Amino acid sequence: MEKNALAATTLQNRLDLFEDCASAVDHLFKQALVHKQDNAFLDFLNFIRNFDRLSVYNAMLVQIQRPGATAVGTRRRWAAIDRNVNPDAIPIIVLQPFGPVSFLYELGDTSGRPIRGQEHGPLKATGKVTAKQFKETKLTAQKLNVEVVDTNQYGLFLAGTAAAINQLPERLAPSNQADATYYYRVKLNAIHDDPTRFATLAHELGHIYCGHLGAHPKGLWPARTSLSIQHQELEAEAVAWLVCRRTGVQPRSEEYLSALMAGVDMQSVSMYAIFEAANRVEARTKIKKQGR
Render the chain in DSSP notation, one character per residue: -HHHHHHHHHHHHHHHHHHHHHHHHHHHHHHHHH----HHHHHHHHHHHHH----HHHHHHHHHHSTT--SEE-HHHHHTTTEEE-TTPPPEEEE-TTSSEEEEEEGGGEEES--TTGGG-TT--EE---HHHHHHHHHHHHHTTEEEEEES-S-TT--EEEEEGGGSSS-B--TT-TT--BSEEEEEETTS-HHHHHHHHHHHHHHHHTTTT---TTSSS---TTS-HHHHHHHHHHHHHHHHHTTTEE--HHHHHHTTGGGS-GGG--HHHHHHHHHHHTT-SPPPP---
Q: Quote the pLDDT of residue 285.
A: 56
Q: Quote the pLDDT of residue 260.
A: 81
Return all residues near 213 (Cβ < 8 A) that are at least 6 apart.
162, 163, 164, 167, 184, 207, 225
Q: Quote the pLDDT of residue 291.
A: 42
Q: What tens digit of pLDDT does each residue of 67-112 get?
A: 988 889 999 999 999 999 999 899 999 998 777 999 999 988 999 9
Q: Quote the pLDDT of residue 233.
A: 94
pLDDT along the chain (292 residues), means of 10: 53 68 85 69 67 82 88 91 92 87 91 78 84 92 94 90 72 50 93 94 97 93 93 94 90 84 84 93 64 39
Q: Quote the pLDDT of residue 4.
A: 55
Q: Quote the pLDDT of residue 94.
A: 92
